[in-house]
Structure 1
Amino acid sequence: MRHDSSIVEFQRKRGGDSAAFFVPFLASDMILLDAGCGPGTITAALAGIVGTAVGVDIEPHAIVAADRLASTSGLTNLAFVEADMTALPFGDETFDAVFFHAVLYHQDGAALTRTLAEARRVLKPGGVIGTRDADVGGNILHPELDGVRLALDLWQRWYEHDDPEALLFGRRQSSLLRARGFTPIWSSAGYVNHSADATSRSEAVADARRSLLGLGPQLVSKGLATDGEIQAALAGWDAWGADPDAVYFRCRCECVARKD
């Protein structure tokens, strides 16, 4: 999975709502692992529910931000470790719960298998795994401007999905977990609303511009995009943000499974 500081910055706005579906399966005496924790906002929210919460991320920028959050949060049961989720630095059966938010979707088949094998290894018998990830087939966008569609495509190019079904990852989480030794016990879906009001639309445009400007030179240097495409994508988001009736609801599918 590729990482970039602009993506980490975008992830800062994730919060407790992203893990709300998992909360009913947690208890105050649990030790929880948030794999691919980014800047740690979800990990911190979960630390208020469980006994101990540990976040891991391979991106140093993310761990720096997460450590800063931990030092100012006042939480004493929160820790972050720079690590690869395909080779976790923890012993067998260490955690009662493992959580993945918006990370599995980006992995190819081999990396996904390694990641979930590691999650199963560090999870205690009877422990739970929660996953929440994207499914572009459920996204709702209006108006469907070419520039915004191009921007969404540019982000997909950045992750270089080899499997076209990766874009529909969210709806397949249950079957993917079952195939890797877990027993799914709950599933649902929700939306991230980027257009609740004028302020949220403005923030969505600012986030999109920051990401495109940060990734643009790297996309161009790797031959994944042209300067013209980057500019067209930026213009598309500007036009979308100027429409007072514009909407963008990003679909997230959710699944909870158990290690029997």
Structure 2
Amino acid sequence: MEQGQTLGEKPGHPPAQPILHEVRTAETSAAHLLPKLQAMKESNPHLTLLDVGSGSGTISVSFAKLIPDGHVTGIDLNPNILGRARAVAETAGVKNIEFQEGSVYKLPFADETFDITFCHQVLVHIGTPWDALHEMLRVTKRGGIVAAREGDYETESLWPEHPELSKFHKLMAGLMSAGGGTPTAGRQLLSWALKAGVERSQITLSYGTTSYSTPSDRKICSQGLSDQLRGGSLRTKALKFGLGTETDFEEMAKAWEEWATRDDATLAMLQGEILVQK
């Protein structure tokens, strides 16, 4: 991916993506940020927060609920997902929120607009994530926070092992790399922030996990991934890059469905997390 390429010019999310993405909330996907957010809210209840790459908006909406006297803006390069995000907010009865189209490389806001700027699973997909962090810092007020949480795909831990699921792991890592992304994003967050010009003393680094182990978790994971393998841009782009055949994808989908029926099935991945104090 070239430096000028924008978020979204990559192996994107097929129509099935909300199945997995819409279980995400601020509590599950931004736990490292919430203590700081709560402390900031005590001194300034009218916080402004930008969620970069907000997708279908479930994380954005949960942020808006946490700062009812503040305001949340969600931005995503994909205009097709914005309607879904607005519907999610309307269903939740959340009013202090808006969604608009835009690129993480050129955020359509003035310098020092937001108290908090956040992204989740965005930098993993793009070619120059330090440039994105630099832009996020630009729109954040002095004294504000830039927060990011990104997966480290090479830390994936899956049980029981299955040859088709091993193929799926290689497929996803290959798609990320072919699109200019970085499968090991989580472990590189700190170095990317430093490359963006941040001093080490400004950065708090932590690690969390995403896991699927309960029957309901496994069902959501399996359904989301098998649907992606059977349709949408994941299959289209995997075929384009020569990363598998339709027969391969169907075999992987069946393996995920079988995995979900196992009482001993688990899946987890390490997540890198940073807070940058501007």
Q: Secondary structure at the match of 1:20?
A: coil
The 1:154–1:195 alpha-carbon spacing in structure 2 relative to 1, beyond 3 Å, is: same
Q: What residue is the counterpart of 2:47 in the other structure?
A: 30
Greater alpha carbon shift after TM alignment, 25-34 vs 220-229: 220-229
Once the two structures are superposed, what CA deviation does each residue of 1:9-66 show, in whole Å capped at 9, x if it has no partner?
4312211221121011122322110000011111111112331110000112321111
| TM-score normalized by the length of structure 2 | 0.84
The 1:163–1:219 alpha-carbon spacing in structure 2 relative to 1, beyond 3 Å, is: closer
Q: 1:144 Cα deviation (Å)? A: 1.9
| TM-score normalized by the length of structure 1 | 0.90
Q: 1:188 Cα deviation (Å)? A: 1.7
Aligned counterpart in structure 2 of residue 12 of structure 1, from 9, 22, 35: 22
Q: Secondary structure at the match of 1:154?
A: helix
- Would the aligned equivalents of 1:8 and 1:61 in 2 still touch at CA under 8 Å? no
Q: Name the aligned partner's letter for residue 106 of structure 2.
A: A
Computed over aligned residues only, the root mean square deviation of the Cα atoms, in angstroms, reads 2.0
Q: Secondary structure at the match of 1:76?
A: coil
Aligned counterpart in structure 1 of residue 98 of structure 2, from 79, 90, 104: 79
Q: Tell me, in whole angstroms, the C-alpha distance in 2 between the residues paired with 1:22 and 1:79.
A: 21
2:187 counterpart of 1:176:
no
Q: Secondary structure at the match of 2:173?
A: helix
Once the two structures are superposed, what CA deviation does each residue of 1:166-224 show, in whole Å capped at 9, x if it has no partner?
2221122122112212344322222222122x232222211111111122244224433
Q: Secondary structure at the match of 1:84?
A: coil
How do residues 138-177 of structure 1 correspond to structure 2 at under 5 angstroms? 138-161=155-178, 166-177=182-193
Structure 1's consecutive aligned runs of 4 or more residues displaced over 4 angstroms after TM superposition are 161-164
Q: Tell me, in whole angstroms, the C-alpha distance in 1 between the residues paired with 2:158 and 2:243.
A: 24
- Would the aligned equivalents of 2:131 and 2:196 in 1 still touch at CA under 8 Å? no
Q: What residue is the counterpart of 1:21 in the other structure?
A: 32
2:204 counterpart of 1:195:
no
2:68 counterpart of 1:52:
no
User: How many residues matched?
Assistant: 255
Q: Name the aligned partner's letter for residue 156 of structure 1.
A: A
Q: Secondary structure at the match of 1:167?
A: coil
Q: Secondary structure at the match of 2:216?
A: helix
Q: Tell me, in whole angstroms, the C-alpha distance in 2 between the residues paired with 1:209 and 1:162.
A: 21
Q: What residue is the counterpart of 2:222 in the other structure?
A: 205
**Structure 1: gaps of 5 or more residues:** none
Q: Tell me, in whole angstroms, the C-alpha distance in 2 between the residues paired with 1:203 and 1:162.
A: 26
Q: Name the aligned partner's letter for residue 188 of structure 2.
A: R
**Structure 2: gaps of 5 or more residues:** 1-7
Q: 1:145 Cα deviation (Å)? A: 1.1
Q: Tell me, in whole angstroms, the C-alpha distance in 2 between the residues paired with 1:92 and 1:158.
A: 34
Q: Tell me, in whole angstroms, the C-alpha distance in 2 between the residues paired with 1:96 and 1:64.
A: 25
Q: Tell me, in whole angstroms, the C-alpha distance in 2 between the residues paired with 1:207 and 1:140.
A: 18
- What percent identity do the matched residue pairs reach? 29
Q: 1:252 Cα deviation (Å)? A: 1.5
Once the two structures are superposed, what CA deviation does each residue of 1:132-178 show, in whole Å capped at 9, x if it has no partner?
110123322111211112112222333334779x2221122122112
Q: Tell me, in whole angstroms, the C-alpha distance in 2 between the residues paired with 1:194 and 1:208.
A: 13
